[in-house]
Amino acid sequence: MSLSASQKKQFRAIGHNLKPIVTVAGKGVSSSIVEETLRALNDHELIKVKFQVGDREVKQQLIQALCNECQAELVQTIGNIALIYRPAEEPNLQLSNLHRH
């Protein structure tokens, strides 16, 4: 699943007003973090994840690991925040960030 430039632009515009739903800290990408991220992606499709780790290299590795575990696409990273997307099998129109905008 690869996003086009226009899709990324649209998702970045939607993601601008979103708040981080999941926070990844010192323990890294644990099974509970993956479960919570999967739940959030199923509900909202487009979410922000906050990474509270010190090193840039570690942060990039954690972002890639989380995206791989959740089969999600990285849209954008700014500072410690990653915007990730995965389409829901059956989107809930009331919860989906894409369908509400």
- Amino acid occupying residue 36: E
pLDDT of residue 53: 87
pTM of the model: 0.91
Residue 41 in tokens: 């992606």
How many Å apart are CA 31 and CA 33, to the nearest integer?
A: 5
Residue 90 has pLDDT above 90, yes or no: no
What is the set of domains in the chain, with CATH numbers? 5-86 (3.30.110.60)
How many Å apart are CA 58 and CA 67, to the nearest integer?
A: 14
The pLDDT tens digits of the residues spanning 37-78 come to: 999 999 999 999 999 988 899 999 999 999 999 999 999 999
